Amino acid sequence: MRPELLNPLFTEITALKGVGNALAKPLERLGLARMVDLAFHLPTGWVERKRVSALSHEDVGQIIITTLTATDYRAGGSSRAPFRVVAQDEAGNIVTLVYFGKNSGWPRKLFPLGEPRLVSGKLEAWSDQLQIIHPDHVEPLNSDHDVKLREPVYPLSEGLTNARMNDLIAQALERAPELPEWIDASVLGSHHWKGWRDALLTVHATPESREARRRLAYDEIFSGQLALMLVRAASRKRKAQPIQPTGRLRDAVKLPFDPTGAQRRSVMEIDGDIAQSAPMLRLLQGDVGSGKTWVALMALLGAVESGMQAAMLAPTEILARQHYETLRGMLSGVPVNIAILTGRDKGKTREATLMGLADGSIDILVGTHAIFQEAVTYKNLGLVVIDEQHRFGVNQRVMLAQKARLNPHMLVMTATPIPRTLTLTYYGDMEVSRLDEMPPGRQPIKTLVMSIDKLDEVVDGLGRHIAAGGQAYWVCPLVEESEVSDQAAAEARAEALKMRFGDRIALVHGRMKGHEKDAVMERFASGQASVLVATTVIEVGVDVPNATLMIIEGADRFGLAQLHQLRGRVGRGDKASTCLLLRGNALSETARARLALMRETNDGFLIAEEDLRLRGAGDYLGTRQSGEQKFRLAGDEDISDLIDMARDDARLLVERDGGLDSERGKAARHCLYLFERDAAVGLLKGG
């Protein structure tokens, strides 16, 4: 239950006076629903006003406050011309107040003729006349609305003025309570940080509030780390079945390669974890092509050797099927029963699979989220491998951990190398294994950056490539965030290529039905189609070793990590591969630098660090981090500067007071609720 002290912060904004339907939309657009949202809506800058008694050309360009009296109105000659109010200052200097828009009733009401008004706005000169366009404040003298000399500027949306926003935020801040201190006294002291409420008021009141902002950022980072530590502690307390692999099945796997040192090391780390009676929670990070599947297979087989079942969860239907086929191939001749279950399996097949899981005749299950639906019961599930961590955030981990009947060891694989700070920020509850060594004998991928103006040459090159029996991917540009327009772009490209290459061209996009996608992928994998035109739905996992050419249109619009992932689709066999990055012509410096980096290196960890540096953490994880909370107060710099301290602080607190029952622990609960880590608090007794 949320501590009562916080209730005023979690009331709806609509409870404030004067917030009616007209403000509902603009507030919603800004994501502002409750008082706490307003309190954390921080200023981006400040208006400085100058108080003047007489207008002067010297003040042109300044935002001034002065007393003006309207003497005349000038309606515009045409409907588009502005409405003008002619006014005088106390010394008799003339200024024109300019209002665009149809409604002349409004300026007339603001400026009744002959009545003085306190006016603020930016003074401008138009030929030799002074004017103010849309003054930002017009108040009767002696009104209780004082116009401040210095006023914070907030992010706004249409229909919401800065004055209004200031007013709403002031009301929200009035309701902000004093909260018990959750930051360790020594940390607080060494940074000269103020208490929470004090810091919040300071951030809204003065531009020089760097330390106060830092404190709020720290609160946010700390709440995240604390949530992760609680997840970790809760999972440590759970009982899992220890797994002692015998090697009986692992040794029966016959593959044409020896595992790399990094692969062996990862399996050893996994074996160390799963031998415990607390469930493993381990992240396996490895670049595309680093051989995560083999590691996963060893983990799955380890569980089966111990008489348990194992499951592998993939983010999409296509990937589930591909994993299933790959694992089946690797398991040929190994006495193991493997099955697949996705949302598309219905009727008899599904029934049979459910039976096999319940009676234990299925050893390994591969599938999408369907494998954790209520109807699915396992005889004895010992271990789960989860592929593509990005779609499986902390909240989902908490949920899975809370399903008491599911207490398996968990191995989470991610194909996107994640920079260290982000690993701590988002996966601080997990142990980490890194596949930092590529299997030997890989042909390096040659990367070229070309202008889209050379499209004809690119298509000619593609023609020669497929005439020689090669296959290629053609990835179409991301068009804003709309799937529909991505699809349109891909369809148009596929049509154009078909004119020349006929049915050697296949198209796959995100809005196709599962079985349609599978059919297309099958045509490509079997070699019937030579070119797969795709939106980024093919981004992860697809494995066609004969495809050695990757063309990425609009490459400047992709993130580096994403480009790296796409590039990793080629270079999988023993033939040399090429990646063509097609760029637009108006490139920013950053975009140039990013494409150049892609050309120069193939090291995913390096690219990840650079991408983070160039774009920032929010963008880096971007929309892929679905279900994961974004930071609203902490910037990238705050995160990298404060993460270690927050982590230590959180770990120490949980070690000393795992139930958060001490005075400080209780205070920390406020912090968790403030940043809506309710799920983590739910792990505490009487949370």
Which 3 state secondary structure label does DSSP give 4?
helix
Write down how long the chain is.
687
Number of residues that bind ligand ADP (CB under 6 A): 16
Q: Are the CB atoms for 555 and 583 separated by under 8 Å?
A: yes
CA atoms within 13 A on the CB side of 59: 22
Chain mean position to CA 417: 15
Pick the closer one to ligand ADP by CB: 263 or 423: 263
Binding mask 616-655 for ligand ADP (x = CB under 6 A): ----------------------------------------
Pick the closer one to ligand ADP by CB: 407 or 416: 416
418 binds ligand ADP (CB under 6 A): no
- Of 125, 148, 116, 122, nearest to 135 by C-alpha is 122
Q: Quick one: tokens of 201?
A: 């008021």
- In the complex, the smallest distance separating the C-beta of residue 442 from ligand ADP, rounded to whole angstroms, is 8
- In the complex, the smallest distance separating the C-beta of residue 384 from ligand ADP, rounded to whole angstroms, is 17
Sign of CA dihedral 135, 140, 145, 147: positive
- In the complex, the smallest distance separating the C-beta of residue 504 from ligand ADP, rounded to whole angstroms, is 24
Among 111, 294, 324, 524, binds ligand ADP (CB under 6 A): 294
Q: Are the CB atoms for 95 and 130 separated by under 8 Å?
A: yes
Q: Which stretch binds ligand ADP (CB under 6 A): 214-222, 288-296, 343-351, 399-407?
A: 288-296
- Look at the block and give the residue holding tokens 């990835």: 475
408 binds ligand ADP (CB under 6 A): no
- In the complex, the smallest distance separating the C-beta of residue 298 from ligand ADP, rounded to whole angstroms, is 11
Binding mask 371-390 for ligand ADP (x = CB under 6 A): --------------------
Pick the closer one to ligand ADP by CB: 282 or 669: 282
Pick the closer one to ligand ADP by CB: 543 or 609: 543
- In the complex, the smallest distance separating the C-beta of residue 682 from ligand ADP, rounded to whole angstroms, is 34
- In the complex, the smallest distance separating the C-beta of residue 266 from ligand ADP, rounded to whole angstroms, is 11
DSSP H or E run through 268 = helix 261-274
Q: Which stretch binds ligand ADP (CB under 6 A): 257-265, 447-455, 480-488, 507-515?
A: 257-265
Which residues, other chains included, contact 669 with Cβ-Cβ below 8 Å and sequence gap of 6+? Answer: 3, 660, 681, 684, 687
Among 135, 245, 291, 315, binds ligand ADP (CB under 6 A): 291
Among 23, 172, 217, 415, binds ligand ADP (CB under 6 A): 415
- In the complex, the smallest distance separating the C-beta of residue 390 from ligand ADP, rounded to whole angstroms, is 15
- In the complex, the smallest distance separating the C-beta of residue 568 from ligand ADP, rounded to whole angstroms, is 7
CA distance 356 to 535: 37
Pick the closer one to ligand ADP by CB: 573 or 584: 573
Binding mask 559-598 for ligand ADP (x = CB under 6 A): -------------x--------------------------
Q: Are the CB atoms for 2 and 677 separated by under 8 Å?
A: no
- In the complex, the smallest distance separating the C-beta of residue 434 from ligand ADP, rounded to whole angstroms, is 12
Among 96, 223, 225, 260, binds ligand ADP (CB under 6 A): 260
463 binds ligand ADP (CB under 6 A): no
Which residues, other chains included, contact 479 with Cβ-Cβ below 8 Å and sequence gap of 6+? Answer: 485, 486, 488, 489
Which 3 state secondary structure label does DSSP give 364?
strand
Give buried/exposed letters for 558-580 (b at 16+ CB in 10 A, else e): bbbbbbbbbbbbbbbeeeebbbb
- In the complex, the smallest distance separating the C-beta of residue 519 from ligand ADP, rounded to whole angstroms, is 22
Task: Work out whether strand 137-140 and strand 116-126 pair parallel, antiparallel, or are unpaired.
Answer: antiparallel
CA distance 422 to 612: 9
Which 3 state secondary structure label does DSSP give 75?
coil
Pick the closer one to ligand ADP by CB: 438 or 639: 438
Among 290, 530, 548, 565, binds ligand ADP (CB under 6 A): 290
Pick the closer one to ligand ADP by CB: 329 or 469: 329
126 binds ligand ADP (CB under 6 A): no
Which 3 state secondary structure label does DSSP give 96?
strand
Q: Are the CB atoms for 527 and 546 separated by under 8 Å?
A: yes
Pick the closer one to ligand ADP by CB: 160 or 542: 542
Among 82, 224, 286, 477, binds ligand ADP (CB under 6 A): 286
439 binds ligand ADP (CB under 6 A): yes
Q: Which stretch binds ligand ADP (CB under 6 A): 157-165, 231-239, 256-264, 420-428?
A: 256-264
423 binds ligand ADP (CB under 6 A): no
Pick the closer one to ligand ADP by CB: 186 or 332: 332
- Look at the block and give the residue holding tokens 């916080």: 6
Rounded-to-10 torsion of CA 447, 451, 453, 457: -20
- In the complex, the smallest distance separating the C-beta of residue 527 from ligand ADP, rounded to whole angstroms, is 17
DSSP H or E run through 671 = helix 663-674
Pick the closer one to ligand ADP by CB: 291 or 382: 291
Among 242, 259, 360, 461, binds ligand ADP (CB under 6 A): 259
| 104: phi then psi, degrees, rounded to nearest 5 | -90, -5
603 binds ligand ADP (CB under 6 A): no
CA distance 429 to 281: 8
Alpha-helical runs (H) found in 310-362: 317-330, 347-359
202 binds ligand ADP (CB under 6 A): no
- Of 317, 268, 318, 259, nearest to 293 by C-alpha is 259
Axis crossing angle, helix 663-674 with helix 210-237, rounded to the nearest 10: 110
288 binds ligand ADP (CB under 6 A): yes
Binding mask 518-547 for ligand ADP (x = CB under 6 A): -------------------------x----
Distances (CA, A) of 236 to 174, 268, 272, 464, 555: 42, 20, 15, 57, 44
Pick the closer one to ligand ADP by CB: 308 or 544: 544
Among 107, 289, 302, 428, binds ligand ADP (CB under 6 A): 289
66 bridge partner residues: 119
Q: Quick one: tokens of 169?
A: 């935020």
257 binds ligand ADP (CB under 6 A): yes
- In the complex, the smallest distance separating the C-beta of residue 329 from ligand ADP, rounded to whole angstroms, is 9
CA distance 291 to 277: 28
Task: Compute how many other C-beta atoms are within 10 angstroms of the C-beta atom of residue 492.
Answer: 12
Q: Are the CB atoms for 334 and 297 separated by under 8 Å?
A: no
* Residues found near ligand ADP in the complex (CB under 6 A): 257, 259-260, 263, 286, 288-294, 415, 439, 543, 572
